[in-house]
Amino acid sequence: MLDAAKEISKTLGEDSISFDEDVIEHHGRSDWSTANTAERPVAVVYPKTTDEVSAIAKICDKYAVPMVPFGAGSSVEGNFSSPYSGICIDFVHMDKIVAFHPEDMDVVVQPGVNWMDLNKEIAHAGLFVPLDPSPTAMVGGMVSTNCSGTNAMRYGTMKDWVVNLTVVLADGSVIKTRRRPRKTSAGYNLTTFFVGAEGTLGIITEVTLKLAPIPQDTSVAVVSFPSIRDAASAASSIMRSGIQLAAVELMDDLQMQVLNKHGSAAVRKRKWDEDPTLFLKFSGTTDAIKSDIKRVSQIIKSHNAGEFHFAKTKQDELDLWAGRKESLFTMVATKPENTILWTTDVAVPLSRMAELIDLSKADGAKLGIFASVVGHVGDGNFHLAMFYNPDDAKQKAAVAKVVHDMTNRALEMEGTVSGEHAIGIGKKDCLVDELGHDAIDFMRTLKKAADPKWLLNPGKIFNVPGKD
Amino acid sequence: MLDAAKEISKTLGEDSISFDEDVIEHHGRSDWSTANTAERPVAVVYPKTTDEVSAIAKICDKYAVPMVPFGAGSSVEGNFSSPYSGICIDFVHMDKIVAFHPEDMDVVVQPGVNWMDLNKEIAHAGLFVPLDPSPTAMVGGMVSTNCSGTNAMRYGTMKDWVVNLTVVLADGSVIKTRRRPRKTSAGYNLTTFFVGAEGTLGIITEVTLKLAPIPQDTSVAVVSFPSIRDAASAASSIMRSGIQLAAVELMDDLQMQVLNKHGSAAVRKRKWDEDPTLFLKFSGTTDAIKSDIKRVSQIIKSHNAGEFHFAKTKQDELDLWAGRKESLFTMVATKPENTILWTTDVAVPLSRMAELIDLSKADGAKLGIFASVVGHVGDGNFHLAMFYNPDDAKQKAAVAKVVHDMTNRALEMEGTVSGEHAIGIGKKDCLVDELGHDAIDFMRTLKKAADPKWLLNPGKIFNVPGKD
């Protein structure tokens, strides 16, 4: 491995590679994740171009050394860990907008571009990338985990916004999956083949993204319900009505308590009801939003809804939505001493979500720990977050069982073990439960064809043959 | 091959297989396509279940016999032809709705279900499959060609509506690509791996489709422009505005002439302007549509738009849209004697479409034949249709050159050689031009991994190694 690193250093220049222990440690594990390994990469390399990534891959292929792509490091399932050591490829220097085509409503970027920076850069043209993952996320990681977020209900997930990818294959050869049409049915869909593959099939070095017009107007409304089931069934009725909201988000009673106690000044301007609450984001033309708000407020009446608060000013709107946006960080700020966070997500058919949330929250509550739910209700996708003491083996096992039971129930309900965080090393066993050995074997057949030496981010999604 | 057919007959029963020459002929070629082969399948088999398809695949695997799936036979690039003979698998008896989940907004169907029948069947629940291909199309073929149609601008293409697939692999084993979540990022996206693969990677035997709520209301408007470029740039401005139309369709001057002369009684109620014309379909809530119509009529003023006709009654709406919907059939009814139709499609970035349509129409006009354009303008996708005399070798070559030049230009403009008809045998060479040998080789690597004996619909998308 060190021979490979040395050859990379010789080829790309000494400045392009780091053997620093702190750097390696930072690239090897995550505080946000419960899925960490003991192994670390031998070096971190910083390419600037597709050609340099290709050169790295050729050297790694020659020495049979694992290659692990690294973006912002914000993924939570150990997606960028290095269980077989190898070379970590950090895309921080590949952060350029290559070409912006406002008339075609697309943009070509390198994988190290942060999505929020990108949206600021192109806002003048009235366009944006309508995803909403972690604020720190970079495009390459967003593609590789098929990320989404609160906007997914209206705009779909990352796979729906990728026009083409430039990919360095395992042997260092380079392909482009498409040219730049918004629509095509020409040949295999290699684009979505790489989206969500976590870098196990190829290394993404350039991405063309479809863009959406920034809506003329937006608005936000908040409404609480006596139970999670009422809230979820209200959300379902809204979806069935055909009213196209930008987002329908659910926060449970615990999350609302956290807002009242620890929210930012803007959030604590109001006293929030400490009940299960829906956050609704409207977007479109100003007239359409008015009409949508009226219709939604009628629909939810039959679901025991409380008072319907909708933003009357732009400041109102920001303050209301801040309640939803701050939830993760506010919650982390309340973390009890000596505990860490276990956060995970599942997605199930819409009709089953309320039941699953109820059961999972009850299981968490039985442990006497903080166990809370935030949900992308429009997608049947929700996150469970729990604080536990990692040194308390019994508590850790109990928390693991809550997660295990939740994923098992999600599968019984025909759901998925990962709605938007991918598999990494954290959910490999669950994926076998989800899809069965034959489907996993077929994935491995494709993996082996694309990467015969099994060097691309090995040990993610499924085990390396003969190991684990 | 006959041994395989006999074993299938023995296993599934004599009623499940046909050796009738007319039946074989009907399954071997298409009047709608210029991409036909001389070869025919040796038999047509009619399975009723996934297990029967699996049994067929095991027998074909054993005798190394090609398997060619057949749906409605409405594809136009020779997608269901049998260039290496083999067994044709007709899904006409697999036409059941397996499960309908209105609360989850999805439906599970067999591949032989016709999409219009399906939409009638589920309309009572206020839901529909928002694709719009040939009225005869069946779900299996729709998935395998990644079809779309006039609704794609708003609702996307087939790949966006498939939740999961049950697939019989080359050796007869059966996998399911997902359970039933609306959203997932768990493992490789095997669903889109099979969508658009034209049955070359596996045989689809069950499909779960996401459903959309039927819009509360719809409306239609029609407006003509002095030139194709004006019409296309008006469409582009509408898209950039963020107004979410259901469809923006373009018909050229020739198509409008055809409507005036040969349209149905409903269509000929009005005298159409014989200029390039946009057909706009609005959908959503009644209030939103009113507001959208107002905004669109303002936007198009700056693009030399003629009078803006919008439907004032439901009958108006049907009559106006009938103009667009009848175009293909009306045009075919005007086919000059001794000619046949060559129809093909490409898609390019939005900003280049007007130029490409202009150039392609001019090329066709130079031949003195009917050469007309209908476009899904919102997607940069359009169809060129020409009538030519197949016995006139010189004219046939000239028409082929027009198509060839159009696809080449589409590629220079970073477009695709097939927007919604897939590749079949008709566009294999173009696909190499589009993606390059390395990308095609990667597709073939995946094909070989999935189908080592190369038995699944061989000769489609790319050539069989060592042949052609």
Condensed to tens digits (0 to 9), the pLDDT of residues A255-275 reads 999 999 999 999 999 999 999
Cβ neighbour number for residue B185 with a 10 Å cutoff: 28
User: Residue B299 half-sphere exposure, CB side, CA atoms within 13 Å?
Assistant: 19
In chain B, the residue whose alpha carbon lies closest to the alpha carbon of A240 is B213
Contact B213 A415 (CB under 8 A): no
Which residues in B241-376 belong to E strands, given as ranges? 247-251, 277-284, 308-310, 340-347, 371-376
Comparing CB atoms, the residue among A181, A190, A284 nearest residue B380 is A181
Chain B environment of A424 (Cβ under 8 Å): none
φ/ψ of residue A420, rounded to 5 = -155, 10
Task: Give the largest Cα separation in chain B, rounded.
Answer: 69
Two tokens, residue B183: 């959203």
Q: How far apart are CA B256 and CA A59, in angstroms?
A: 61
What are the φ/ψ torsions at residue A447 (nearest 5 degrees)? -55, -50
List the 290-329 stretch of B: residues with Cβ below 8 A of A.
290-292, 295
Q: How far does chain B reach from its first CA to its final CA, in angstroms?
A: 21
| C-alpha count within 13 angstroms, C-beta hemisphere, residue A310 | 15
Exposure string (b/e) for A282-301, b if CB count within 10 Å is 16 or more?
Answer: bbbbebbbbbbbebbeebbe
Predicted ipTM of the assembly: 0.95
Write a three-state SS string for chain A: CHHHHHHHHHHHCHHHEECCHHHHHHHHCCCCCCCCCCCCCCEEECCCCHHHHHHHHHHHHHHCCCEEEECCCCCCCCCCCCCCCCEEEECCCCCCEEEEEHHHCEEEECCCCEHHHHHHHHHHHCEECCCECCCCCEHHHHHHCCCCECCHHHHCCHHHHEEEEEEECCCCCEEECCCCCCCCCCCCCHHHHHCCCCCCCCEEEEEEEECEECCCEEEEEEEECCCHHHHHHHHHHHHHCCCCCCEEEEECHHHHHHHHHHCCCCHHHCCCCCCCEEEEEEEECHHHHHHHHHHHHHHHHCCCCCCEEECCCHHHHHHHHHHHHCHHHHHHHCCCCCCEEEEEEEECCHHHHHHHHHHHHHHHHHCCCCEEEEEEHHHCEEEEEEEECCCCHHHHHHHHHHHHHHHHHHHHCCCECCCCCCCCCCCHHHHHHHHHHHHHHHHHHHHHHHCCCCCECCCCCCCCCCCC
CA distance B178 to B194: 12
Burial class (CB in 10 A: 0-12, 13-18, 19+), B15: exposed
Q: Does B124 touch chain A (CB under 8 A)?
A: no
User: What residue of A is the nearest CA neighbor of B437?
Assistant: A175
Q: Do B442 and A450 touch (CB under 8 A)?
A: yes
Which residues, in sequence order, are CB contacts of B441 under 8 Å at separation 6+? none
Residues of A in contact with B236 (CB under 8 A): 103
Question: pLDDT tens for residues A36-92?
Answer: 899 999 999 999 999 999 999 999 999 999 999 999 999 989 999 999 999 999 999
Query: Beta partners for A43?
Result: A87
A185–B418 CB contact, under 8 Å: yes
Domain ranges of chain B: 1-92, 97-213, 215-326, 335-423
H or E element at residue B70: strand B67-70
Q: What residues have CB less than 8 Å from A35, skipping those under 6 apart?
A: A76, A77, A78, A81, A424, A425, A426
The answer to whether the Cβ–Cβ distance between B440 and A285 falls below 8 Å is: no
pLDDT tens readout for residues B428-468 = 999 999 999 999 999 999 999 999 999 999 999 999 998 86
Q: For residue B287, what pLDDT is reported?
A: 82
Cα separation, A10 vs A13, in Å, equals 5
Q: Pick from B183, B184, B439: which is nearest to A190 by CB?
A: B439
Does A349 sit within 8 Å of B442, measured CB to CB?
Answer: no
Residue of B387, B279, B382, B275 whose CA lies nearest to B333: B387
pLDDT at residue number A236: 85
Spatial distance between the Cα atoms of B27 and B37, rounded to a whole number of angstroms: 12
| Minimum Cα–Cα distance from A213: chain B residue | B242
Task: Enter the tokens of residue B233.
Answer: 């740039």
Segment 22-41 of chain A within 8 Å of chain B by CB: none
| A97-213 CATH | 3.30.465.10
Enumerate residues 160 to 219 of chain A having a beta carbon within 8 A of any beta carbon in chain B: 160, 169, 173-190, 192-193, 195-197, 201, 212-216
Judged by a CB distance cut-off of 8 A, whether residue A463 touches chain B is no
Residue B142 has pLDDT above 70, yes or no: yes
What mean pLDDT comes out for the span B239-266? 91
Q: What DSSP designation does B87 have?
A: E
Higher pLDDT, residue A341 or B128: B128
Closest CB to B103 among A350, A411, A431: A350
Instruction: Tell the CATH topology of A1-92.
Output: 3.30.43
A431 touches chain B (CB under 8 A): yes
Buried b (16+ CB within 10 A) or exposed e, B417-426: bbbbbbbbbb
Q: Are B183 and A347 in contact (CB under 8 A)?
A: yes
**Among the partner residues A102, A215, A446, nearest to B446 by beta-carbon distance:** A446
pLDDT digits (tens, 9 = 90+) for A393-437: 999 999 999 999 999 999 999 999 999 999 999 999 999 999 999
- What is residue A32's predicted lDDT score, i.e. its pLDDT? 77
Q: How many residue contacts between A and B have a Cβ separation below 8 Å?
A: 316
Residues near A122 by beta carbon (within 8 Å), at least 6 away in sequence: A97, A100, A102, A107, A128, A211
- pLDDT of res. B468: 62
Q: B392-425 pLDDT, tens per residue? A: 999 999 999 999 999 999 999 999 999 999 999 9
Judge whether B215-326 and B335-423 match in fold: yes
Cross-chain CB nearest to B185 (options A174, A178, A418): A418
Angstrom distance (rounded) from CA B164 to CA B210: 9
The predicted-structure confidence for B350-395, as pLDDT tens digits, reads as follows 999 999 999 999 999 999 999 999 989 888 999 999 999 999 999 9
Q: Using one digit for the tens of pLDDT, what is the confidence trace for B309-339?
A: 999 999 999 999 999 988 888 888 888 899 9
pLDDT-above-90 percentage for chain B? 85
The Cα of A18 is separated from the nearest Cα of chain B by a number of Å equal to 31
A144-184: pLDDT as tens digits: 999 998 999 999 999 999 999 999 999 999 999 999 999 99
Instruction: Name the closest residue on chain B to residue A202, using Cα atoms.
Output: B442
> Of A214, A209, A213, nearest to A98 (Cα)?
A209
Q: What is the pLDDT of residues B196-227, one digit of tens each?
A: 999 999 999 999 999 999 998 999 999 999 99
Q: What number is the average pLDDT over the span A367-393?
A: 92
The CATH architecture that domain A215-326 belongs to is 2-Layer Sandwich (3.30)
Q: Closest residue of A to B179, CA-based?
A: A414
Q: What is the pLDDT of residues A111-137, one digit of tens each?
A: 999 999 999 999 999 999 999 999 999
**pLDDT given for residue A468 in this prediction:** 63
Tell me phi and psi for residue A461, to 5 degrees: 70, -55
Q: Rounded mean pLDDT of B174-186?
A: 97
Q: What count of other Cβ atoms lies within 10 Å of the Cβ of residue B309? A: 17
Minimal CA separation from A110 to chain B, in Å:
18
Least CB–CB distance from B145: residue in A185, A192, A196:
A185
Q: Is the pLDDT of residue A205 over 90?
A: yes
Interface check for B400 against chain A (CB to CB < 8 A): the answer is no
Chain-chain contact of B147 with A180 (C-beta, under 8 angstroms): no
CA–CA distance, A467 with B20 (Å, rounded to integer): 54
Asked if B439 reaches chain A (Cβ–Cβ under 8 Å), the answer is yes
Partner residue facing A446 (CB), from B348, B350, B449: B449
Query: A interface mutation test: which of B101, B176, B188 has the most A CBs within 10 A?
Result: B188
Share of chain B above pLDDT 70, in %: 100
The fold of B335-423 is Alpha-Beta Plaits (3.30.70)
CB-based contact A416 B186, cutoff 8 Å: yes
Site from B103, B185, B434, B457 to mutate, A interface, most A CB atoms within 10 angstroms:
B185
Q: Dihedrals φ, ψ of A113, to 5°?
A: -75, 130
Which of A182, A421, A462 is the best mutation test for B, with the most CBs of B within 10 A? A182
